[in-house]
Structure 1
């Protein structure tokens, strides 16, 4: 009996605790909704700073409050603070429990991504919005715009990559041409050095061409084969010239004698005194 009494007391305490917890949640929800309501009124009066504070209070009171995150995201969006707006709308999308709430959150996420020129990501966000509400014309229109933007960005990326590849190819061809030109210059230099070396090899120690030296050496060798006159003696050629001159002189004398014989002997006249 005593044990049954204890069990009933425990059950009663659990029920009471659960009821208190539910009441606390209801209180937090009500309080959060009040903050959201006040924030909405401030948004209508374009007091975005005060509205942001009210939405923050709502989220602080109930972190899963969808309306607070969603409206705070819209407030950031109106001020051009797209990163903060994206963060809050992602919160709203994660905490959303109904298709309508998810649709609105993803729709706004798509709009924020479009502002950030993230068209490919925006396409996926609008797809998620349409999955939750395929009948929304505005979402379908934004989806078409985002898809066209994503395709254009992809084309631009392809063109950029193609240009970079072409530039890389041109740079490679340029480098190849420069290397070939350097190799040609080096070959010409090597050929010049080789010709210079061959020219140097054909010169003697005094820098004279070997051909000239070889010619002189050949001439000297030819003269070595002939008898060379000793000092004080006539060479054979000189002797030959001298004999020819003597012979010519003798012929002239003989011709003169013969001419006198043909004229006859002169008669000598003597006078007597």
Structure 2
């Protein structure tokens, strides 16, 4: 589900070699914890890294990594807040907007009140739309936009009154109004994709990403 660049962080701004190696080691430790799904430990390392990194691409990448650890722990409000931070790096900006859209969609699934759920889904659509305006050929954003649009449409569809006949409705409804099968399909897709995220965290290395390496839901 998350869109994560592979090789992004460059710690060339460190004023001395000892500081460079400290930053390098901290980032590598954070990525290692993330790879092993030790997200609280990864979170601790990325927070530590942000305390001594100057503002710039390195800091933005560390912030992005921290947002990913929040997401994987189900801390969606914290993840969305970090994904929404401004950055001058265009590629990282688009990936952050994409991930914020996914985070808002996941937040919607946790809401039981229909209006709140719909509001988060609309915000998610807005994020995917922003990505598509910047990059109309972005296939993953197109797919995610369509998935969220369909679930929002399902949510806002009026629930028919109970039939007076002996027939039953087509499947039970959740309190939100979304058909349970529809919600389950979205959750199943999310769970399938989460298993493929581990090798994609931004790491110390080259300036480029070495390939897109993105994931959709």
| CA distance in 1 between partners of 2:133 and 2:23 (Å) | 29
Deviation at 1:148, TM superposition (A): 2.0
Whole-angstrom distance in 2 between the partners of 1:75 and 1:100: 20
**How many Å separate the matches in 2 of 1:54 and 1:60?**
10
1:137 counterpart residue number:
139
Match of 2:170 in 1: none
Residue 126 (structure 1) shift: 0.8
Residue in 1 aligned with 2:94? 103
Q: Partners in 2 of 1:32 and 1:142 — Cα distance?
A: 35
Provide structure 1 residue ranges, at least 5 long, that are not aligned to the other structure: 1-23, 161-273
Name the residue aligned to 1:10.
Answer: none
Matching of residue 26 in structure 1 with residue 20 in structure 2: no
Equivalent residue, structure 2, for 1:85: 79
Partners of 2:101 and 2:50 in 1: CA distance: 23
Written as runs of structure 1 = structure 2, the 5 A alignment for 1:49-88 is 49-62=40-53, 64=55, 65-88=59-82
Q: Which runs of 5+ in 2 are unaligned?
A: 1-11, 109-119, 161-217
User: What secondary structure sits across from 2:14 in the alignment?
Assistant: helix
How far does the alpha carbon of each residue in 1:1-30 deviate from its partner, in whole angstroms, 9 at most, with x for none?
Answer: xxxxxxxxxxxxxxxxxxxxxxx9533994
CA positional deviation for 1:112: 0.6
Q: Secondary structure, in 3 states, of the residue corresponding to 1:116? A: helix
Query: SS of the counterpart of 1:134?
Result: coil
CA RMSD, 1 decimal: 2.7
Change (3 A) 1:59 1:134: farther
- Whole-Å separation in 2 of the counterparts to 1:63 and 1:147: 39
CA distance in 1, matches of 2:128, 2:81: 17
Alpha-carbon shift at residue 98 of structure 1 (Å):
2.6
Matched, 1:123 2:125: yes
Q: 1:107 to 1:32 in 2, by over 3 A?
A: farther
- The runs of at least 4 aligned residues of structure 1 exceeding 4 Å deviation read 28-34
Local SS of the residue matching 2:69: helix
What displacement does 1:140 show?
Answer: 1.1
SS at match of 1:26: coil
The structure that is helix-richer by fraction is 1
Answer yes or no: is the 8 Å Cα contact 1:99–1:132 preserved in 2. Answer: no
